[in-house]
Amino acid sequence: MRGVNDMKQEIKITKKTQRRGDDGHKIVSVRMRDELIEKLDAVSALTDRSRNEVINLLLEAALEIVSIEDEED
């Protein structure tokens, strides 16, 4: 019979694997009106792209053309 001191004890730790979000993408929650979601879904269906892809493409395009103006009094 082996004693406690004779038993080889080993702790195994696996290497960290890439988790969701570590690929340069983050999950964002946004509240939208039903009508806007319906429009997004229509574009999604017409283009064979996911709603997520459509939203990202539209946001990227909008950020390229957005201008910031001071509020008028």
State pTM to two decimals: 0.66
Residue 58 forms part of a structural domain = yes
Map residue 32 onto helix, strand or coil.
Answer: coil
Residue 8 forms part of a structural domain = no
Q: Is the pLDDT of residue 51 over 90?
A: yes
Residue 72 forms part of a structural domain = no
Average pLDDT, the chain: 84
Q: Residue 18: its pLDDT value, please? A: 67
Residue with tokens 């283009």: 47
CA distances in angstroms from 52 to 5, 13, 30, 61, 69, listed in the order given = 57, 35, 12, 14, 29
Q: Residue 43's domain spans which residues?
A: 27-66
Into how many domains does the chain fold? Answer: 1
